[in-house]
Amino acid sequence: MLKGISPLVGPDLLALLCRMGHGDEIVLADAHFPGESVGRRVVRADGCGSPILLDAILPLLELDGKGGSPMVMMAADGKDVLDPTVEDSYRRVILRHCPGAPPSRETSDSPFTSEPGRPLRLVMTGETAKYGNIILRKGVTPCEPRTIPTDS
């Protein structure tokens, strides 16, 4: 048991986050997403909705503020329509942890299924909202000066 880490962030997810470098991306996929077919590294968080999991992950993950939005939502296919409350629920959580974060952008499903040569880090959530997938891009974690205790 570790202090300060939500119990929703299990050992596999914690290891996945730990292995990410700046610029790496992670997908929080909804329950409809074909994760096992497209993911090379799949972590399961089936009982957890994406906003709740976002709230658990964001204290541990610095978002990338360079080069556009560090958050990408899946765009609707064809004549389908997005439910704006899905993005709004994610945005509220993101702003709580990252005030001033730029709005997310929408894209087709191709970045969600990985581009050639790019690893896909995928967390399958229990989110049931349609198009409830989000990509987060990790930034550089700020370093604070550390003092080494001395024996007195």
Q: Give me the phi and psi of 137, to 5 degrees please.
A: -105, 125
**Beta-strand relationship, 71-74 and 105-107:** parallel
Extended beta strands in 17-131, E state: 25-29, 41-45, 71-74, 105-107, 121-125
Side chain identity at residue 6, one-letter code: S
- Extract the tokens encoding 130: 């349609």
Catalytic residue among 8, 14, 17, 22: 22
97 is catalytic: no
Segment (H or E) for 95: helix 84-97
Q: Please identify every residue annotated as catalytic.
A: 22
